[in-house]
Chains A and B, each alone.
Chain A
Amino acid sequence: AQSVTQPDIHITVSEGASLELRCNYSYGATPYLFWYVQSPGQGLQLLLKYFSGDTLVQGIKGFEAEFKRSQSSFNLRKPSVHWSDAAEYFCAVGDASNTGKLIFGQGTTLQVKP
């Protein structure tokens, strides 16, 4: 069965420090992978997505993610975190069936220390 695991439930980093959020997936074929961010009281905003091609993808707000097939991972990175990045981050795999439904991980809450 398809699944997504985000091993870190909560992460705290200092403002200006680098960030890496981990995501592992289980999927039988080439996955469609997404990272979304959710701020309190808000819906989900797409940060970036990977379908094929270059395994390093750039997203909005200075985020990037690297697809590693051998490790079944799609980790999200940012070189320098800003206080406004504090939010919940979700990794998702898109079902390649007709619906393209998204299967989400449990999420990682990012706290940014001043």
Chain B
Amino acid sequence: ETGVTQSPTHLIKTRGQQVTLRCSSQSGHNTVSWYQQALGQGPQFIFQYYREEENGRGNFPPRFSGLQFPNYSSELNVNALELDDSALYLCASSPTSGATDTQYFGPGTRLTVL
């Protein structure tokens, strides 16, 4: 069984640019959640996708957007990058969107904004 995978591993961008991060969910999972983990902090919830629809959103501006595809893989897009967007971006998949479903995390994408 393949776990959650993310690409790329590392990324360096400059302020104002746009970035797309990718996540492949674990087999059999239809829900993907994205988290931002700044250095020295716990992860913060960005949003969740359930069966290709956004199912909830944290306190992040609209320049953070996402997609989920029919195979349940997902993308996180960030426009107009700011220095504070530098962080580890974690994707987690779960069997459904329920609160009792364990979220399985990928290794993350380290984004550096210069």
Interface of A toward B, CB cutoff 8 Å: 4, 32, 36, 41-46, 49, 51, 90, 92, 94-107
Query: Which of the residues A92, A101, A103, A104 comes within 8 Å of B56, measured between beta carbons?
Result: A101
Inter-chain CA distance A68–B6, complex, in Å, is 36
- Whether A43 pairs with B90 at a CB distance below 8 angstroms is yes
Q: How far is A38 from B23 in the complex, measured between Cα atoms in Å?
A: 19
Question: What CA separation (Å) do A40 and B61 show in the bound complex?
Answer: 29
Q: Are B102 and A49 within 8 A (Cβ)?
A: yes
Contact call B55/A90, Cβ cutoff below 8 A: no
Q: Report the minimum CB–CB distance from A107 to chain B (whole Å).
A: 5
The reply to whether A98 and B42 form a contact with Cβ atoms under 8 Å apart is no
Does B72 count as interface, using CB distance less than 8 angstroms?
no
Label chain B's interface by main secondary structure. loop
The answer to whether B100 has its CB under 8 Å from any CB of chain A is: yes
Residue on A nearest B9 in the bound complex, by CB: A41
Which residues of chain A are within 8 angstroms of B94 by Cβ–Cβ distance? 100
The verdict on B7 contacting chain A, using a C-beta distance below 8 Å, is no
Using Cβ atoms and an 8 Å threshold, which residues of chain A touch B108?
43
What distance in Å separates the Cβ of B34 from its nearest Cβ neighbour in chain A?
A: 10
Chain B interface (Cβ within 8 Å of chain A)?
4, 33, 35, 40-45, 48, 55-56, 58, 90, 92, 94, 97-108
Instruction: Indicate if the CB atoms of B102 and A101 lie closer than 8 Å.
Output: no
CB distance from A83 to the nearest CB of B (A): 22
Q: Does the CB pair B102–A43 fall under 8 Å?
A: no
For the complex, what is the distance from the CA of A103 to the CA of B107, rounded to whole Å?
A: 19
- Does B107 contact A98, Cβ atoms closer than 8 Å? no
B99 lies within 8 A of A100 (CB): yes
Question: Closest B-chain residue to A6, C-beta based?
Answer: B42
Contact of B105 among A44, A49, A51 (CB under 8 A): A44
Excluding A98-B55, A100-B103, A102-B43, 19 further A-B contacts by CB distance (< 8 Å) are: A32-B100, A43-B105, A43-B107, A43-B108, A49-B102, A94-B100, A95-B99, A96-B99, A97-B56, A99-B55, A100-B94, A100-B98, A101-B56, A102-B35, A103-B45, A104-B43, A104-B44, A107-B40, A107-B42
